[in-house]
Amino acid sequence: MTSLSGMRNYFIITAAYWGFTITDGAIRMLVVLYFHQIGYSPLEIALLFLFYEFFGVVTNLVGGWLGARIGLNKTIHIGMGLQVLALSMLTVPDAYLSVAYVMFAQALSGIAKDLNKMSAKASVKLMLPQGDEQQDSRLFKWVAVLTGSKNSLKGAGFFIGGALLSWVGFRTALAILAGSLFALLVLTYILLPQDIGKTKDKAKFSQVFSKTPAINWLSAARFFLFGSRDVWFVVGLPVFLAASLGWEHSEVGAFLALWIIGYGVVQVSAPRLLRRSHHNRGPDGSTSRWWVFSLALFPAAIAIALQQSYDPSLVLIAGLALFGIVFAINSAIHSYLILAYSDNDKVSMNVGFYYMANAGGRLVGTLLSGWSYQTLGLTGCLWISTVFVVIAGFLSFGLPRSEDTADRQPPQ
């Protein structure tokens, strides 16, 4: 693939990922706020996302193998189609919106999200020109731009979801999102080549389980890193802002949107922020360990400040800003490392395995968010978050330093 065609495909896939991500953020905010409004408890709201996260685990396990067999462009479009279906399913009257029905719709959305994410991120390495002296630093930059812009747009989706709920109502909002995503699906189907990421040899399903120690350690650390965020961010924080602080739906959506947008901006900036310590190469295991342990300070500090009865609005706004900066750098480092540790022929399966762990952490974090907020309050969510970050830090000791490249790949 020439650098010109690679860049063209990169921008098309990024545009598809952007459009999908806006709907993903919007549907999450719509579901949390609307079902809280009609009387669901925090634990019941968390259960609505149970299948979303669970099927994310399954999808990442199978999706990398599927992408290697049929092509990443096809898995992107399957994901977009499933998201259109999930959005459309939730437009039925309230009488049909049972917990089981919404969980099923969210399961489709979870499959869609992780097919789209795995496909987009695995594609980045395949589009990068090979044999470049600055390949590591270039890969770090490309994946940071894709991931960071995605998260900024997910934040925009949070705002759009909260705003649409206030302006046009739940069902009309879902219909607008479904129609827009379907139009983008048709456009990218026409523009993308049909064989991105398809391997020459038929990939075996047993190959989805990584034999590379560095990838296994990274995946385990990723599980706890993302569990540490979602244990307070998914249910506890938005419900606390709405129920305890009396914020309007649009205000909750706008606040979480600004946080995720800022988080995405930091991710995009991560290669530049870390450039001085990584001359023409990407970060390594020691970089990851340092940043993960630094992150543990922030949920602990927020919990202590809330327990000391400081102004909760000020504590959460300032604390979330600092947590978001450090979390974004951690996430950008991880997103680079999984591609750096992967061979081109196995990149989709390795990325799928890694994001299986990511989805598993989100699943556990989501369930704990509803349970811990209902039983322990927001401070309880934050202390569990702190423990998860510390565990991720210790698991990061299994990641190799840059000079220890022999451990990256298993013997052939």
Residues 99-143 have pLDDT tens digits of 889 889 989 998 998 888 777 777 776 666 555 545 666 777 777
Q: Which residues contact 295 (CB under 8 A, 6 or more apart)?
A: 225, 228, 323, 326, 327, 330, 389
pLDDT at 346: 63
For the ranges 127-141, 170-184, 342-356, which has the lowest average pLDDT?
A: 127-141
Res 401 pLDDT > 90:
no
H or E element that contains 120 = helix 99-127
pLDDT at 69: 75
pLDDT top residue among 150 and 365: 365
pLDDT at 80: 93
pLDDT at 185: 93
Please tell me what DSSP assigns to residue 96.
G
Mean of the per-residue pLDDT values of the chain = 81
pLDDT at 409: 42
Tokens representing residue 142 in the block: 């490309």
Most trustworthy range by pLDDT among 136-145, 183-192, 270-279? 183-192
| Residue range 74-88: mean pLDDT, rounded | 92
pLDDT at 277: 58
| Percentage of the chain exceeding pLDDT 70 | 84
pLDDT at 191: 83
Report the residue count for the chain: 412
Per the CB < 8 A criterion, the answer to whether 287 and 277 are in contact is yes
pLDDT at 134: 58
Please tell me what DSSP assigns to residue 65.
H
Res 315 pLDDT > 60:
yes
Res 241 pLDDT > 60:
yes
pLDDT at 196: 66
Taking every pair of C-alpha atoms in the chain, what is the biggest distance, in angstroms?
61
pLDDT top residue among 248 and 409: 248
| Residue range 50-61: mean pLDDT, rounded | 80
| Residue range 135-158: mean pLDDT, rounded | 75
For residue 382, which of 257, 233, 159, 262 has the smallest C-alpha distance?
233
For the ranges 37-41, 58-62, 70-74, 199-203, which has the lowest average pLDDT?
A: 199-203
In angstroms, rounded to a whole number, what is the distance separating the alpha carbons of residues 128 and 146?
A: 13
In angstroms, rounded to a whole number, what is the distance separating the alpha carbons of residues 42 and 105?
A: 19
Res 332 pLDDT > 80:
yes
In angstroms, rounded to a whole number, what is the distance separating the alpha carbons of residues 337 and 329?
A: 12
Most trustworthy range by pLDDT among 13-27, 128-142, 196-210, 257-271? 13-27
Give me the CATH number covering residue 205: 1.20.1250.20
pTM for this entry: 0.72
pLDDT grade for 407, boundaries at 50, 70 and 90: very low
Q: Which domain holds residue 297?
A: 3-407
In angstroms, rounded to a whole number, what is the distance separating the alpha carbons of residues 158 and 151?
A: 10
Quick one: how many helices (H) and strands (E) in the chain?
14, 0
Residue 412 lies in a domain: no
| Percentage of the chain exceeding pLDDT 90 | 26
pLDDT at 130: 56
Please tell me what DSSP assigns to residue 296.
T
pLDDT at 96: 87
pLDDT at 243: 81
Q: Give the count of domains, the chain.
A: 1
pLDDT at 223: 94
| Residue range 148-177: mean pLDDT, rounded | 85
Res 39 pLDDT > 60:
yes
pLDDT top residue among 163 and 210: 163
Q: Residue 66: is it exposed, middle or buried by C-beta count within 10 angstroms (0-12/13-18/19+)?
A: buried
| Dihedral, CA of residue 73, residue 120, residue 152 and residue 312, to nearest 10 | 120
Res 207 pLDDT > 80:
no
pLDDT grade for 98, boundaries at 50, 70 and 90: confident
pLDDT at 359: 81
CB atoms within 10 A of CB 112: 28
pLDDT at 233: 83
Per the CB < 8 A criterion, the answer to whether 37 and 177 are in contact is no
For the ranges 139-153, 180-194, 208-222, 366-380, which has the lowest average pLDDT?
A: 139-153
Res 213 pLDDT > 90:
no
Residue 260 lies in a domain: yes
pLDDT at 55: 83
pLDDT grade for 402, boundaries at 50, 70 and 90: low
pLDDT at 383: 95
| Dihedral, CA of residue 10, residue 24, residue 325 and residue 143, to nearest 10 | -20
